[in-house]
Amino acid sequence: FGSRTKAFQDWAEAKGKPVLDDDQAALIESLNTSVRGHKHAAALLADGVAEGVIRAEYCGVPCQARLDWLNPESGIVDLKTCDNLDWLQMDARTYGYAYQLAFYRSLAATLTGQRLPVYMIAVEKREPLRTGVWRMSEEVLGLAQKENEEAIARLIACREKDEWLTGYEDIRTYDLI
C-alpha cells in the first residue's frame, strides 16, 4: 500500500517517529544512485565508517563531531545536498562548510596526529541530480582552522568573564557599494 493510503498513515502514526513517504524514499534512492555512479565519490565511499563520532579536547575545550564518512586512507568525506552544483562553492561559503570541515579535521588530528585530506561530495536534490566532488584546499582549511581557534579562544574568554559580547558593540563604518 502506498504512502497516500489510510493504512500507511495509520502505520506511520503508530511508529511514533518520522517515516519516509514514497516520494521521499524515491528521491533518496535517486540521490544514492547518482552519488554511487560518480567514480570519485564511489571510490571515496568504498571503505570507511559512516556517521562516526569523535570526541577530543581541542583548544582546551571538550569537543565532539559526527563525521559523515571517515576512512583513514582516503580522509574525511562530508556529503551535502544542494539545489545546483554550479553554485556549490557559493553555498559552501554562505553556510560556512570550510569551518565545519576544518573543525572535523582538527579534531581528528588531535586523536590521530594526522592531518587527513577532506572532501565534499555534493548531490543535487533536483533533476538532473548531478554529483560532484571537491577536495578542500590546505590553504582554505588552514585559514578556517585559524578562525575556528580564535573563536574557541573568544568562547573561553566569554565563559571565564561571563560576558557574552556579540562583536557589534561599537559603531561600524559602512563602505561598500
Q: Which of 23, 35, 29, 24 is nearest to 130 (CA)?
A: 35
Beta bridge partners of 119: 77, 135
> Residue 18 — pLDDT band, cuts 50, 70, 90?
confident
> Residue 117 — pLDDT band, cuts 50, 70, 90?
very high
Give the pLDDT of residue 133.
Answer: 99
The answer to the question of residue 166 being in a domain is no
The answer to the question of residue 173 being in a domain is no
Its domain, for residue 46, covers 19-161
> Residue 22 — pLDDT band, cuts 50, 70, 90?
confident
Give the pLDDT of residue 9.
Answer: 81
What is the CATH classification number for the domain harbouring 156?
Answer: 3.90.320.10
Tell me the backbone φ, ψ of residue 169, rounded to 5 degrees. Answer: -75, -30
The answer to the question of residue 10 being in a domain is no
Q: In this predicted model, what pLDDT tens digit does every residue of 56-102 receive, in sequence order?
A: 999 999 999 999 999 988 999 999 999 999 999 999 999 999 999 99
pLDDT at 1 over 70: no
Q: Which residues contact 135 (CB under 8 A, 6 or more apart)?
A: 117, 118, 119
Top pLDDT among 119 and 72 is at 119
Number of domains comprising the chain: 1
Cis peptide before 128 (omega within 30 of 0): yes
The answer to the question of residue 1 being in a domain is no
The answer to the question of residue 9 being in a domain is no
